[in-house]
Amino acid sequence: KAGVTQTPRYLIKTRGQQVTLSCSPISGHRSVSWYQQTPGQGLQFLFEYFSETQRNKGNFPGRFSGRQFSNSRSEMNVSTLELGDSALYLCASSYHRTDYEQYFGPGTRLTVT
Amino acid sequence: DAKTTQPNSMESNEEEPVHLPCNHSTISGTDYIHWYRQLPSQGPEYVIHGLTSNVNNRMASLAIAEDRKSSTLILHRATLRDAAVYYCILTARIQGAQKLVFGQGTRLTINP
């Protein structure tokens, strides 16, 4: 069974631009969560989607948004990029919201210049 | 979210057991204890989880104190591949594990 895939793996953007990152969960998994990892703040929860609905949200500004499609694939969008948005963005999936194990993808490394 | 406290770093030798401690004095009765690890240049990887009783799986063992205010992840025979940052995380039972609140973790170094 293929693991969680994230595209692109690396991305360079300029301040003020917007970016869309994609996550394909493991086949059959319906819950997708997103995390941001930076050297200063560590791993922080962004949001969680299940059945195309956002179920949980972390403490991030409204510039960070996401969505989930009927096939469980998910995208996250960051608008008006800031230098501080440079980070590794990780996606994790599980079959159901009450599962106790999440499977993480390799992440997308975003650099904002 | 309840907090966990872990040592910043630990070091061990290959083929020796490793005991990684975690304190969670404010744990509630409905919190599960999870352990994840993150190898270099990879996303986190689930290791083990438990509620009250000690747990074993193919990767590790989890020993939970009777009062649940602390736990220990045990790697029975460390290999070089076990070098990673290990995170101890509490999750509310009713939420499952959909919102993981990561701390700084313990960076484990394995010496050959």
Residues B47-105 pLDDT 10s:
999 999 999 999 999 999 999 999 999 999 999 999 999 999 988 765 555 678 888 99
Interface probe with A: pick from B88, B98, B101, B104, most Cβ of A within 10 Å: B98
What pLDDT, on a 0 to 100 scale, did the predictor assign at position B29? Answer: 86
Q: Which of A8-17, A33-42, B57-66, B87-96 has the lowest mean pLDDT?
A: B87-96
Q: Of A10, A1, A3, whose CA–CA distance to A89 is shortest? A: A10
Size of interface A-B (CB pairs under 8 A): 65
Please indicate whether, in this complex, the C-beta atoms of B100 and A42 are within 8 angstroms of each other: no
What pLDDT, on a 0 to 100 scale, did the predictor assign at position A1? Answer: 66
What pLDDT, on a 0 to 100 scale, did the predictor assign at position B96? Answer: 53
**The two structure tokens encoding residue B20:** 């990684």
Burial class (CB in 10 A: 0-12, 13-18, 19+), A53: exposed
Rounded Cα–Cα distance for residues A53 and A50 (Å) = 5
If you search the block for the tokens 């700084």, which residue do you land on? B104
Nearest chain B CA: its distance from A82 CA (Å): 23
Residues B98-109 pLDDT 10s:
678 888 999 999
**What is the mean predicted confidence (pLDDT) over A33-57?**
92
Please indicate whether, in this complex, the C-beta atoms of B43 and A99 are within 8 angstroms of each other: no
CA atoms within a 13 Å half-sphere pointing along the CA-CB vector of B80: 2
CA of B47: which chain A residue's CA is closest? A101
Is the minimum CB–CB distance between B6 and chain A shorter than 8 Å? no
Rounded Cα–Cα distance for residues A58 and A43 (Å) = 11
Percent of chain B with pLDDT over 90: 78
Residues A48-95 pLDDT 10s:
999 999 988 899 999 999 999 999 999 999 999 999 999 999 999 999
Helices (H), A7-94: none
Q: How confident is the model at residue B15 (pLDDT cuts 50, 70, 90)?
A: very high
